Amino acid sequence: MQRAFLLLTLVIVTLGLGGCTMISYYAQSLKGHVQIITSRESVGKLIEDPSTPEALRARMASASAIRQFASDELSLPDNSSYRSYVDIGRDAVTWAVFAAPQLSLTPRTWCFPVFGCVPYRGYFSKEAANDAALVLHRQGFDVYISGITAYSTLGWSSDPLLSTMLFQDDTYLASLVFHELAHQRVYVTNDSAFNEAFAVAVETTGVEKWLRSTGDLAGLRRYEADRKRRAEFIELVSQTRAELARIYAGSGRLDEKLAAKAAAIETLRKRYRTMRDRRWGGYKRYDAWFDAPINNAKLAATAVYSDEVPAFVRLFKLCSGDYERFYASVRRIGAVGKARRIETLRARSRCD
């Protein structure tokens, strides 16, 4: 379910830190990013160029309007990010590798200068991601690989629109642009759960505002229905994570805990099928997630992007939907020590 992550390369590579393995990792990241940024084409020129295919011109016009809306109405950075375009010719721009111990839902993290620690490593090659996942698997970790359609350099470079961002409709494109620009507005080092939930809150409130502004009430209803199903999916996964946490913390032999883990995951699948068929009327968008292997790494990755979103949306409402006030409040909470940060967020009773 993950679709975006932070590219942790630009400053890191120039620092020349790490041993041979890390240098190799940084090198592939830098090479992949440079290949993309050197292929950028101006969105404005693509719109004006009569040789641009009509379908692409229409998408670029929509993307340009969405990008301007982000700055004008959501107080997101008014810079050159997402004002250029690159057709990367593949289904994902990068592949993110997540890992967690067999009997723990705490994801492994990797730490980098400037950007801090994050619960994944990104690769511009699917083969390289598979190789990294295999190494982690041999070390005893649960591993999950997710194809990514967009990424952010936190404003260190002018991030372009990518062909992968156009695979779905304009609502999906708007959600990606708003999400990635949110990372440029507020970013707290060493706290991916905080950063991602904040960006999702900006994304969802922003998309709702954008759909209302365009008068697309049918699109708004579809989006709200999708968000409701997403919340129910997260609640279902959270229930299983709580059950697994109790299993892992309890007594018992390794084989007994692994058997209980497998049973809990199978129960999750059964609960999903019941919810899909009885409550969702057979809506199958999440089938692929449940049909693929489920393990601690996959469950942990889902939590990073989801757990604290309601708390951020609540804070946004306390700020009367004023994005500048919201960002200022989030920044102040971000300055609180990590041990108390989420507690402080959840306890907020006013926008201050």
Q: Give, for 141, the enclosing helix (H) or strand (E).
A: strand 141-148
Over the stretch 165-202, which tens digit does the pLDDT of each residue have?
Answer: 999 999 999 999 999 999 999 999 999 999 999 999 99
In this model, does residue 77 exceed pLDDT 60? yes
pLDDT, the chain, mean: 91
Spatial distance between the Cα atoms of 149 and 161, rounded to a whole number of angstroms = 10
Q: Are 236 and 303 in contact (CB under 8 A)?
A: no
Q: Which residues have a Cβ under 8 Å from the Cβ of 70 and sit 6 or more positions away?
A: 76, 82, 177, 178, 181, 206
**Rounded distance between C-alpha atoms, residue 150 and residue 164, angstroms:** 7
Residue 97: left (phi > 0), alpha (psi -120 to 50), or beta?
beta
Tell me the backbone φ, ψ of residue 64, rounded to 5 degrees.
-65, -40
Assess whether pLDDT exceeds 50 at residue 14: no
Number of Cα atoms under 13 Å in the Cβ half of residue 285: 10
Tell me the residue length of the chain. Answer: 352
Cα–Cα distance, 211 to 218 (Å, whole number): 9
Q: Please check the confidence at residue 23 and state whether its pLDDT lies above 90.
A: no
pLDDT of residue 8 exceeding 60? no
Q: Where are the domains of the chain?
A: 4-192
Please, are residues 41 and 141 in contact by the beta-carbon 8 Å criterion?
no
Whether residue 4 is predicted with pLDDT greater than 60 in this model: the reply is no
Q: Which residues have a Cβ under 8 Å from the Cβ of 350 and sit 6 or more positions away?
A: 318
Distance CA 330, CA 315 (A): 8
**pLDDT digit string, tens, across residues 207-249:** 999 999 999 999 999 999 999 999 999 999 999 999 999 999 9
Residue 19 reports pLDDT greater than 50: no
Q: Is the pLDDT of residue 73 over 60?
A: yes
Q: What is the mean pLDDT of residues 13-39?
A: 69
Of the pLDDT bands very low, low, confident and very high (cuts 50, 70, 90), residue 6 is low
DSSP state of 336: S
pLDDT digits (tens, 9 = 90+) for 104-150: 999 999 987 667 888 999 899 999 999 999 999 999 999 999 999 99
CB of 95 closer than 8 Å to CB of 123: yes
| DSSP bridge pairs for 98 | 144
